[in-house]
Amino acid sequence: MCRHLAYVGEPVRLADLLLTPPHSLLAQSWSPRDMRGGGTVNADGYGIGWYTGEPEPVRVRRPAAMWTDAALPGLAGSVITGGVLAAVRSATIGMPVVETACAPFVGGRWLFSHNGLVRGWPSAVAALASRLPVTDLLLMDAPTDSALLWLLVRARLSAGVAPEKAVASVVTEVAEAAPGSRLNLLLTDGSTVVGTAWTHALWVRSLPGAVVVASEPYDEDPGWHEVPDGHLVTATPSNVDIMRLGDP
């Protein structure tokens, strides 16, 4: 079911977020604590996106387990950033294991990730997909549910919809079209994180000058708070707002 994490705030080394904590995203790639029946490891790829001050983020994706990338410790130890979205992937049966299927997906200043699956893929969401421009579908990163969810969110962002409303509307519409779907989404522009808990876990932790939203806490600090199922969180370093979406 994948694991993902978003951070915005005071600049931090990627390694201090993703590699060195006791239950880091790296550890979650081989020993996740809360997959809820969605696999046992997250070894089908990983991706990291981060912000450098340029208009668009930098992204690295690999179609192999995070722990196999010998170059990652050096990269993560040298990059300092104030905005990150990273994910480790457990591919749903039938989905391709390729680099372009790995989150984060990117568009302009936005980074996006999906933890979960769309039930009845692809027929259950064919009607929603038909509303998108054909060229967007032809250029979709990969033939996966996560890539389509990103197109649906991106289309709303491009139309000027606020990020929290864009994410909320996609979750509720997909949940209605494909009941039983797991729709934990993360979206960030490097200053705000929008996330959903929809039939899976999501946690948030405020830090001095920063905030983290993640599938699982990366340490035992009591500052972690679970986002209730069926809720959306909008988080910045100075504020965390949680609103109800509905009943999954």
- pLDDT for the residue numbered 32: 79
- pLDDT for the residue numbered 94: 87
- pLDDT for the residue numbered 166: 98
- pLDDT for the residue numbered 93: 86
- pLDDT for the residue numbered 40: 73
HSE-CB at 160 with a 13 A cutoff on CA atoms is 0
Quick one: how many helices (H) and strands (E) in the chain? 7, 13
Per-residue tokens: 75 = 């990269």
Mean pLDDT per 10-residue interval, the chain, length 248 residues: 92 98 94 65 94 96 97 98 97 92 98 96 98 97 97 98 98 98 98 96 97 96 97 98 94
- pLDDT for the residue numbered 37: 54
Q: Which amino acid is at 225?
A: H
Go through the domains of the chain in sequence order and give each one's CATH number.
3-244 (3.60.20.10)
Contact 62/47 with Cβ under 8 angstroms?
A: yes
State yes or no: is 102 an active-site residue: no
- pLDDT for the residue numbered 31: 81
Dihedral sign (CA 141, 146, 151, 157):
negative
- pLDDT for the residue numbered 230: 97
Catalytic residue among 1, 2, 8, 183: 2
Counting every residue, how long is the chain? Answer: 248
One-character DSSP codes across 132-148: S-HHHHHT-SSSSHHHH
